[in-house]
Structure 1
Amino acid sequence: MMNKRNLILDCAEQLIRTDGAAQLTLEKVAERAKVSKGGLLYHFPTKEQLVAGMIERTIESFERDVQSARASLPEGPGRNALAFMMAALDGQWKSTSARPNPVDLLVSTLTAFSTEPKMVLPIRKAYVRWQQLLEEDGLDPVQATITRLAIDGLTYTEMFGFNAFTEKRRQEVLEALRNMCMGTNSSHPRSQGRGPKRENNE
């Protein structure tokens, strides 16, 4: 059974997704969670602490899934990058206490920023950790950074529903990202052999 704290966080995230961050109030969250105002205040005395709880839970859940994915992969260069990709894109979000939606990190970020810009600091710190994780992965640091940015881009594109491409194209993109994570630079077959031929002037 889900504990009350996670129930409250779930309801807060649902409220933001359905009604918008501007509608987030402790009263509305308590009503949706079917708990008393006092019961909600016991766990989250202020709205700011509620938003902070959303951020903390989402980051912890994502990092837990990165570690879970990493444990399933063989050692070698690109292991961390591939685990990061699996957690972000391959539906690896798991939790024993809740079922975070992949959009929740975005929801938490936007809500935190609209509430108080400095509240996004935990997310910024998390990205520092994630960047370091990939840069210490045996890959070229620039390639590792490009890989993370591509993963972020695809993640947020899908969150907003801006992915104007087919599932087949998505799978091709994922395969290219996997190759990048493993430090290979294999090009898409259609792009091979299309560059201009160099003439030997010697």
Structure 2
Amino acid sequence: MSKAHHRKKQPALVRQQLLEVAARLVVNEGMAAVTLDAVSAASSVSKGGLLHHFPTKNALLDALFESLLDRFDADIEELMRGDPLPQGRFTRAYLKAVSGLKDRPDDSKSWTQVTIALLAEPRLRLRWRQWVQARAEEYVGTDSSLDAQIVRFAADGLWFADTLDSHDINNALRRDLINRLVDLTGK
């Protein structure tokens, strides 16, 4: 009998390992490198084991996207907990979470690949739209002003510029830009 047969089953850990391997492949080689065979080989999980957790590549990529969203949500929640002002709290946290991605290389690279995939994959665009809509509904009382919406659109623009590495913004200008946007959230 093989070792795997006697190994204690830990499906949550195996699932997490598969997602981490998929994320690493995305970061190092791009979204196209995430194949079921590549994830199986890099994780030392049999293809059957992988298929048990993720029956298709799309299921794996969807789960990876959900994992990134969960981390993004956790970052936003943590930032909101540290913000004493209710008006614009979510928008400030969103801006800081988005602008902070650049400072976390692994998250930044993962989000870069996912952002590019968002442009091409209708199901990921729909899931992102659902996330945005749910947050808009949840924070309608504190973050629905025109200024808050402008800040979130500006944050998305900053995110896109960071993704494309399209603008040379020095640290001082970036800090001033973010501070100006933060000022708008209290109005």
Normalization by structure 2: what TM-score? 0.79
| Partner AA of 2:167 in structure 1 | N
| Structure 1 residue 32 corresponds to structure 2 residue 38 | no
Give me the identity figure in percent. 25
Unaligned runs of 5+ in 1: 184-202
- In the other structure, the counterpart of 1:126 is 131
Q: After alignment, is 124-133 or 71-80 more displaced?
A: 124-133
CA RMSD of aligned residues (A): 2.9
- In the other structure, the counterpart of 1:104 is 110
Q: 1:103 to 1:23 in 2, by over 3 A?
A: closer
Q: How does 1:1-202 map to 2 (within 5 A)?
A: 3-90=13-100, 101-111=107-117, 114=120, 117-133=122-138, 135-137=140-142, 141-183=145-187
Q: 1:40 to 1:112 in 2, by over 3 A?
A: farther
Measure the CA separation in 2 of the matches of 1:76 and 1:113: 33
Higher RCO (Cα < 8 Å, 6 or more apart): 2
| Partner AA of 1:101 in structure 2 | D
Normalization by structure 1: what TM-score? 0.74
Unaligned runs of 5+ in 2: 1-11
- Secondary structure at the counterpart of residue 167 of structure 2: coil
Contact 1:12–1:24 (8 Å) recurs in 2: yes
Shift of 1:103: 4.0
Structure with the higher helix share, 1 or 2: 2
4+ runs deviating over 4 angstroms? none
